[in-house]
Structure 1
Amino acid sequence: MSLPSLQLGDKTAKYAIIQGGMGVGISLHNLAAAVANEGGIGVIAAAMIGMREPDVAQNPLEANLRAIRKEIAKAKELSIGSNGLLGMNIMVALTNFAEMVKTAVSEKIDVIFSGAGMPLELPKYLFEACEERKETFNTKLVPIVSSARAASLLCRKWLSKFDYLPDAFVVEGPKAGGHLGFKLEELDSKDHELEELVPQVVEAVKAFEDKKGCAIPVIAAGGIYTGADIKKFLDLGASGVQMGTRFVATHECDADIRFKEAFINAKAEDLTIIKSPVGMPGRAIRNSFIEAVEKGQVKFKCIFQCVTTCDPKNSPYCIASALLNAMKGNLDKGFAFSGVNAYRVDTLLSVKELIASLQAEYDAAVKA
């Protein structure tokens, strides 16, 4: 028995494993290409992607769009002939969301994943990119949602306004890393567990699948760690899984080795929920920077203006700077977002070794 493939319209990934898009700078071309080369869907994170461009502070839009083009080109070059796909995660809350989507589409990225808000206008930007370039692009559009209600709403809106349905949904539960689409009190609620959400979303999209005669795969995300976990969610009706934390402690991950070591050294009690400046709770690895934030000891100046929901005047710190510092390994000036199972990471692997271990665990679970 082998891990199943994942079909997104006319595009196929050999394995139904999506590497979550992790910003700032944790998953760029190197990690995404490695995952695609192993048959999964490798995802580049668009958040602050232009951080290494010399003019990012003066010209953030141009710097970020330039970096999107560079990262996609590098990922494609490293994954020529792969049996996987390349994707880009572009958060709705990003200041230049529309321009980023159109740029990724025009660079022929296979899939765009979009959360941190409702991507109600996402098909519009796909169509605009086609019109502006006088070319037909085949990028698949996959919203990230946290409820069946959100999935149904998006289907209705896209269908009525664009005659278009999502090519898949990622359903992210409260055990995920980074910003979470739940209220603080919902994080430990049984009603919001991923095991509850996946069947609900699968059921919610059925009517739309029947109406248009197309499949809308549902991808489970948040707290998925082993091959046995993959089997569990496939048995619940999911067509694939998205995993972020597992891909951090890999040789190919684009972050500094000290960022990866934060995961390897983390204990269960180190994982904490923080209040992010963007107005959402987030799961992270507790460290001295987070403690300094709690004591009001962090001073900053906003230079990026990267997220529409961030209010610099009332924020205790700059989320972009903190994540950028962490990616570079300067964890005394930032912190690492992580999933609920980060403490289980204990060694550095290659992406090839990781996928092989997930395959072996999946096979064992199927035979059990």
Structure 2
Amino acid sequence: MLKKLKIGDIETKYPIVQGGMAVGISLDGLSSAVANAGGIGVIGTAGIGFFSNIKNYKKANIESLKNYIRKAKEKTKGIIGVNIMVALTDYAEMVKTAIDEGIDIIFSGAGLPLSLPSFLKKDSKTKLVPIVSSLKAAQIIVKRWMSKFNYLPDAFVLEGPLAGGHLGYKKDELFSENNKLENNIPILKEYLLNVEKNYGKKIPLIAGGGLYSKEDVEKVLALGADAVQMGTRFIATEECDADIKFKEAIINAKDENITIIKSPVGLPGRALKNSFIESVEKGEKKPYECRYHCIKTCNFRTAPYCIAKALYNAAIGNIEEGFVFTGGAVSKINKIQKVEDIIKELFES
């Protein structure tokens, strides 16, 4: 019998979370479709202000976040989360806004979300879910949250090295046997069961990174995960918020097109190689200005390009002035589907 995902008093029909893909890939369209199909839909918040007419970038971010949360909620009675990167310069404001808007879940990675519970109010029902890549990171978060806030995470997302976008590993760690998702699921699960034993709170484990098929899902759940996270698989859908050219880049991608880039934010990232990335590798791209300072770890004085602008360009279909982040299983995707059909294929076929 298929298990449901329970995060506190939240329960889904299927144990699946859609990865929050930022700068215009998962907004209200994709997130609400996943929620309506029985999973957890997630709005990616980094760069969300690009999709606003407001000139002030930080104000645009806040208003856009409110707007997309409200639009998603109008389209579904299902569960909607947001992905808010710790590395954002306006992290605190974005978290406060999401909680004020009554978002169901905040997923937070790209750094350790050590202060996240401090933003909850007494009547807040928002669940807090850190994204980690190792047992050590989970242990640090649990220790800090308990000592400072007497609060345990409501769940954890474990992201393996085959995930798309920014990765929580050094480049030389990506292909290490020790870091494989399937090796770390049982380790983190055992730790979370011990935490449950000690504190009486069940902390579900959601695992993802390079997953594609029903077999992948079954393998991850059999290893002890309570649910899976998938991002790239949902890009090639009718409901995804990205431009059709972005979706076509995913559909047409082969294994040999995947590359690991050195992102201006200081993390490695998995992306599809194209002329933009090639020109950056040759040292040809330079930003003329930094209008946004959106990421704490990005030094705009030395950055070879503005990653926020590059990802925005790709999302609106101007692929040659940007690039496409992708997970490791992208070559298996060869058509555009409906979100509901993908979820049924994964859990009911």
Task: Sort the TM-score into its range (normalised by shorter chain).
Answer: over 0.9
Q: Pick from 309, 317, 327 the counterpart of residue 305 of structure 2.
A: 317
Give, in whole Å, the separation in 2 of the partners of 1:295 and 1:29: 37
Note the aligned Cα RMSD (angstroms): 1.0
Give, in whole Å, the separation in 1 of the partners of 2:297 and 2:241: 27
Q: Pick from 277, 281, 293 the counterpart of residue 305 of structure 1.
A: 293
- The one-letter amino acid of 1:123's match is P
Corresponding residue number in structure 2 for 1:133: none
Q: Pick from 266, 282, 285 the counterpart of residue 279 of structure 1.
A: 266
Q: Pick from 130, 140, 143 the counterpart of residue 127 of structure 2.
A: 140
Give, in whole Å, the separation in 2 of the partners of 1:325 and 1:40: 29
1:159-178 → structure 2 map (5 Å cutoff): 159-178=146-165
Question: 1:261 and 2:248 equivalent?
Answer: yes
Corresponding residue number in structure 2 for 1:92: 86
Corresponding residue number in structure 1 for 2:277: 290
Q: CA deviation at 1:211?
A: 2.1
Q: CA deviation at 1:302?
A: 1.4
Q: CA deviation at 1:207?
A: 2.5
Instruction: List alignment gaps of at least 5 residues for structure 2.
Output: none
Give, in whole Å, the separation in 2 of the partners of 1:353 and 1:219: 21
Q: Secondary structure at the match of 2:88?
A: coil
Question: 1:236 and 2:233 equivalent?
Answer: no
Question: 1:200 and 2:187 equivalent?
Answer: yes
- The one-letter amino acid of 1:168's match is A
Q: CA deviation at 1:226?
A: 0.8
1:50-89 deviation line (CA, Å, top 9, x unaligned): 1122224xx2221111111110100000003xxx410000
- The one-letter amino acid of 1:310's match is C
Question: 1:73 and 2:61 equivalent?
Answer: no
Give, in whole Å, the separation in 1 of the partners of 2:132 and 2:340: 29
Corresponding residue number in structure 2 for 1:116: 110
Question: 1:214 and 2:213 equivalent?
Answer: no
Q: CA deviation at 1:214?
A: 1.0
Question: 1:327 and 2:326 equivalent?
Answer: no
Q: Is the 8 A contact 1:53 1:67 kept in 2?
A: yes
Q: Secondary structure at the match of 2:114?
A: coil
Q: Is the deviation greater in 208-217 or in 89-98?
A: 208-217
Q: CA deviation at 1:14?
A: 1.1
Q: How many residues align?
A: 348
Q: Is the 8 A contact 1:36 1:42 kept in 2?
A: yes
Corresponding residue number in structure 1 for 2:26: 27
Q: Is the 8 A contact 1:151 1:205 kept in 2?
A: no
Give, in whole Å, the separation in 2 of the partners of 1:357 and 1:202: 26
Give, in whole Å, the separation in 2 of the partners of 1:239 and 1:162: 25
- The one-letter amino acid of 2:107's match is F
Q: Is the 8 A contact 1:179 1:283 kept in 2?
A: yes
Scaled by the length of structure 1, the TM-score of the pair is 0.93
Q: Secondary structure at the match of 2:319?
A: coil
Q: Secondary structure at the match of 1:51?
A: helix
Give, in whole Å, the separation in 2 of the partners of 1:320 and 1:254: 17
Q: Is the 8 A contact 1:141 1:167 kept in 2?
A: yes
Q: Pick from 328, 336, 342 the counterpart of residue 348 of structure 1.
A: 336
Q: Is the deviation greater in 256-265 or in 197-206?
A: 197-206
Corresponding residue number in structure 2 for 1:62: 59
Q: Is the 8 A contact 1:152 1:205 kept in 2?
A: no
Give, in whole Å, the separation in 2 of the partners of 1:293 and 1:303: 20
Q: Secondary structure at the match of 1:332?
A: helix
1:86-110 deviation line (CA, Å, top 9, x unaligned): 0000000001001100100110110
Q: Is the 8 A contact 1:274 1:283 kept in 2?
A: yes
Scaled by the length of structure 2, the TM-score of the pair is 0.98
Q: Pick from 137, 144, 151 the counterpart of residue 150 of structure 1.
A: 137
Question: 1:102 and 2:96 equivalent?
Answer: yes
Give, in whole Å, the separation in 2 of the partners of 1:141 and 1:12: 15
- The one-letter amino acid of 2:268's match is P
Q: Is the 8 A contact 1:91 1:116 kept in 2?
A: yes
Corresponding residue number in structure 2 for 1:188: 175
- The one-letter amino acid of 2:49's match is G
Seq. identity, %: 55
Q: CA deviation at 1:299?
A: 2.7
Give, in whole Å, the separation in 1 of the partners of 2:180 and 2:51: 38
Q: Is the 8 A contact 1:24 1:49 kept in 2?
A: yes
Q: Is the 8 A contact 1:101 1:126 kept in 2?
A: no
Which ranges of 4 or more aligned residues in structure 1 deviate by more than 3 Å?
none
- The one-letter amino acid of 1:118's match is L
Q: Is the 8 A contact 2:129 2:155 kept in 1?
A: yes
Give, in whole Å, the separation in 2 of the partners of 1:137 and 1:162: 14
Give, in whole Å, the separation in 1 of the partners of 2:196 and 2:108: 20
